[in-house]
Chains A and B, each alone.
Chain A
């Protein structure tokens, strides 16, 4: 079946622009996660949804970052007034229920470059 898809795959933004990154999870997966991966580092947790409810947003680095999943499937990560330090790969993952033992399935990521 189809895996997790993300769009766009690459995004170049000028400093101060707003960007929106989209994630389509695996069909039927209740849980959805966003991670940020800086160059040469492991992914860092940003936020987590169970269906449409955002249960944990403790990893969002500032109030310029906002995520939503209004119908419990597709999710959008929005970054307002982008800064150079926001340049990274943004990864989306989904899992069936979100349990500790479950595998999280990752999308290919969106590479964001802020100039």
Chain B
């Protein structure tokens, strides 16, 4: 079935480093793609989304481009801050009104 795969394991990096979190998907048709973020002690909130191929979603310095040819939606940020420490989830909505989430990646930014 339709699914999302995120890279394994937590990500630890220093402040001002470049962040990439890989996300690939398997889907029939053309899903909408999302990145959600969960800060410590808080609920899931939308970070960015893209609804068709070649769309780029961006927010708070984060970007992700919907790549149909590689079925990917990798999240990037050029210079992370300690406040970016959180768990990041990639998700897709393939039109039957449900989101399918990846397992999430914990990002820890060290000052």
Contact = CB atoms under 8 A, between A and B. Distances in A.
Interface of A: 4, 31, 33, 35, 40-45, 48, 50, 55-56, 59, 91, 93, 98, 100-101, 103-109
Contacts of A104: 46, 99
Given A41-B103, A41-B104, A42-B103, A106 B45 contact: yes
B66 to A, nearest CB: 12
A107 B31 contact: no
22 contacts: A4-B43, A31-B97, A40-B104, A41-B104, A42-B4, A42-B91, A43-B44, A43-B99, A45-B98, A55-B97, A56-B96, A56-B97, A91-B44, A93-B44, A93-B99, A100-B32, A100-B93, A100-B94, A100-B97, A101-B32, A106-B43, A106-B45
